[in-house]
Structure 1
């Protein structure tokens, strides 16, 4: 079952809040990342010089590459070693689903990054801040990899921070002063909320207008290189090319980035929905209890799972949970709905001594769920938003594959309607055309997750 740090170690939440750390969910990775732009404004003692440390680290790589005369020489190898590290486990953050032995940046990717920096040097000096923008222009580098690199560079500061707050909280510690995660037996590494973001500021740098907002000439020169048409976005390949051949574009982009006034993410309201589901689901289950009987057969288990799904439907449609599917009227990622269901379903199961398993198939969080009696009797629950283009594919391909993998013939396809009427109509027509025995194997439940008008307006 999902458990936060404070719940697992029975820490007073107000006392924990004073540490400035994120109250992570110990068995679910939350998609927050160390945002390099936020390092500059962090006031916690262990991180006041974090930005300087990372800039110095990146500067060393740039200097080594400047002295390198050929790929694989002494300077190149030293630069490569600075990008070689093992992924640091314990933060419970990010997309990564690798084992502890895997490199966060593999050999071939390191080579590509170093070649890119070396190529940039041909047209002038390279500002070390370019490493903070890797996810903008370097193929196969996302914000998670940049965050992994920052975690590695700042590993000493992170450990010092954890030792200090663990002592303040009087929680169980190992010989290194760290707590152990009971779900994976790794040392927990809490991170301060001040340096975390669900979407790093650098993500906006594929926006043409933003990177060139103060330089009309640079924008016009971009149009000479690419037929942009009505596009507002540049591809990574296009940005990479411009950085190498147009020093004005590179300078404008770096200048714009440095001018950004970084602001801390609103963890209280959590617009991205990465962690708020945990608190809200517990509160809702307490407010709207559901009595379930311990299932002893696949039929009884089917009834239990369906009752949980129907309760989830009611909480969204009638008790306001639809709000957690949106950020200021903009639909959140499907993961927000999946995590919300996980929190609700698990809380109801725990309250009634029923086991719920979360299955992870794609490395991006809970995709389907399994309630089982023994090894043979299982029911899966798959969740999709109607905004997902894979709505039909999920029923035709994904769910049958999961059912085969789990050796079960029972599943519920939970569809949350957040618009896209034509896609929903096509899906319903297809489902209704299935044979009766196929519809018995996969039950379809539709939830109205659209934005609701207030009672007064309605």
Structure 2
């Protein structure tokens, strides 16, 4: 359920905030450079926000430079200031389940301190872009940078959310909010009770952010720095094969050898004409529109005649009904369009998983069945887990047919997850995008390999093929 749906809000053109899903984190991130651009345009609401980010990290640079050891007072203060708990009230970022991830703990703080030490050793005594730390440090990515922004500027997002609530008459409740404000000079964080909207799924607060601050990756990221034309000589010296991607560890190594070049590149990116937030209209990652048309379709096509679910057989029957509806939606009701971009490129595999969840979650809730995404089952994260009561469970794995790990998903991942979860039932969903001979052969081989897996594992495993190929207009047939 979206924020607007829960609170019954009708938005207008003046509403510039992202409408978060309240039970599933959206894998978008707050990009510091987009906040910097807002300052450059003279924003009164967000004026000084980027400077506040830099001031926080400038204090961290100062503390790291003064640290005589990893246990010194200065190091301890820097570590505290660089520890950014996952701000689940924003409903953003990567998480294994729901809207409560782990954030940047002490281990991440130590990594950031190491990256800062590299910058200091190169004479870069003041931060100009906090994203540099993510390029200088392995294990620090977009989610960690976004978590830093959320924590440091949280007090601003509190006031922003309150203004939205006042406009729309949204009820507020008192919540204890961690890291409400940073006090970098004093080396600590403050937590306060604040009045904010309540997330019905968690009982915790909700914080809203402007859409224009969100991106799927920071504009300043490791891959873009490595692939920039200014680094052509560096790339040539590595003798990478055509099409071979450099690992993050390799990019970090090169960045640490060339920190001043990294700083110069970062400074040059601020004036790029193409800097903008995520394209919510085209939704290239499939993270924003997955629960719109799918839910509309489900409402218009109710499932009837299915009994309450208490056994695995009854759960299979309900799942069959839902997957038939999903296949109908994708193949015959233009749902496939949500899996393709306007330029003819495919959206990532996650888009197909989210699209399935958008429809399935609506149906399953009517029958009291839990559908959880990316659930840890002891040996990894299974795409979906269905459960009703204590005994009726089905695990679901979704793969594009042309995924290089397609057979691995069926013959290794799914049975491993089933065994780890002590579950006897699994569904393998194959999403078909391409008509190449190898892909068509995979589809022909799929039923036989599923039967072989059942014999070998002793589990009940079924498969479903969803045709997501681009369809020609009926007028052209």
Task: Pick the TM interval, shorter chain.
Answer: 0.7 to 0.9
Match of 1:370 in 2: 386
* Segment drifting more, 116-125 vs 157-166: 116-125
Give distance in 2, aligned partners of 1:68 and 1:410: 55
Please list the CA deviations of residues 179-208 of structure 1 after superposition, one character each: whole Å capped at 9, or x if unmatched. 111111111111111211122222464454
Query: In structure 2, do the counterparts of structure 1 residues 112 and 381 end up closer, same or farther at CA, with 3 Å as the change threshold?
Result: closer
The answer as to whether partners of 1:166 and 1:177 remain within 8 angstroms in 2 is no
Q: 2:334 aligned with 1:320, yes or no? A: yes
Higher strand proportion, which one? 2
Match of 1:430 in 2: 449
Match of 2:208 among 182, 190, 214: 190
Q: 2:269 aligned with 1:257, yes or no? A: yes
- Pairwise CA distance, 1:103: 6.6
Match of 1:125 in 2: 124
Q: Give me the CA root mean square deviation.
A: 3.2
Give distance in 2, aligned partners of 1:342 and 1:150: 29
Q: TM-score, normalised by structure 2?
A: 0.82
Match of 2:104 in 1: 105
Match of 1:75 in 2: 74
Query: In structure 2, do the counterparts of structure 1 residues 115 and 382 end up closer, same or farther at CA, with 3 Å as the change threshold?
Result: closer
- Pairwise CA distance, 1:57: 1.6
Greater relative contact order structure (CA < 8 Å, 6+ sep)? 1
Query: In structure 2, do the counterparts of structure 1 residues 397 and 166 end up closer, same or farther at CA, with 3 Å as the change threshold?
Result: same
> Any residues of structure 2 matched to 1:253-332 within 5 Å, and which?
253-261=265-273, 262-295=275-308, 298-327=312-341, 328-332=343-347
Match of 1:417 among 432, 441, 457: 432
What's the secondary structure of 1:413's corresponding residue?
Answer: strand
Give distance in 2, aligned partners of 1:380 and 1:33: 29
Query: In structure 2, do the counterparts of structure 1 residues 130 and 424 end up closer, same or farther at CA, with 3 Å as the change threshold?
Result: farther
What's the secondary structure of 2:361's corresponding residue?
Answer: helix
Match of 1:215 in 2: none
Give distance in 2, aligned partners of 1:101 and 1:344: 23
The answer as to whether partners of 2:57 and 2:127 remain within 8 angstroms in 1 is yes
Query: In structure 2, do the counterparts of structure 1 residues 431 and 333 end up closer, same or farther at CA, with 3 Å as the change threshold?
Result: same
What's the secondary structure of 1:39's corresponding residue?
Answer: helix
* Segment drifting more, 82-91 vs 399-408: 399-408
What's the secondary structure of 1:259's corresponding residue?
Answer: coil
Match of 2:404 in 1: 389
Match of 2:357 in 1: 342
Query: In structure 2, do the counterparts of structure 1 residues 68 and 379 end up closer, same or farther at CA, with 3 Å as the change threshold?
Result: closer
Match of 1:443 among 440, 445, 462: 462
What's the secondary structure of 1:243's corresponding residue?
Answer: helix
Give distance in 1, aligned partners of 2:405 and 2:392: 28
Structure 1 unaligned spans of 5+: 213-217
Give distance in 2, aligned partners of 1:381 and 1:71: 45
Structure 2 unaligned spans of 5+: 175-193
Please list the CA deviations of residues 74-123 of structure 1 after superposition, one character each: whole Å capped at 9, or x if unmatched. 43333223212433221111113499999732333322322232223222
Query: In structure 2, do the counterparts of structure 1 residues 319 and 440 end up closer, same or farther at CA, with 3 Å as the change threshold?
Result: farther
Give distance in 1, aligned partners of 2:344 and 2:395: 30
Give distance in 2, aligned partners of 1:123 and 1:94: 32
Query: In structure 2, do the counterparts of structure 1 residues 9 and 100 end up closer, same or farther at CA, with 3 Å as the change threshold?
Result: closer
* Segment drifting more, 30-39 vs 50-59: 50-59
Match of 2:257 in 1: 245
Query: In structure 2, do the counterparts of structure 1 residues 428 and 250 end up closer, same or farther at CA, with 3 Å as the change threshold?
Result: same
The answer as to whether partners of 2:226 and 2:251 remain within 8 angstroms in 1 is no
The answer as to whether partners of 2:364 and 2:371 remain within 8 angstroms in 1 is no
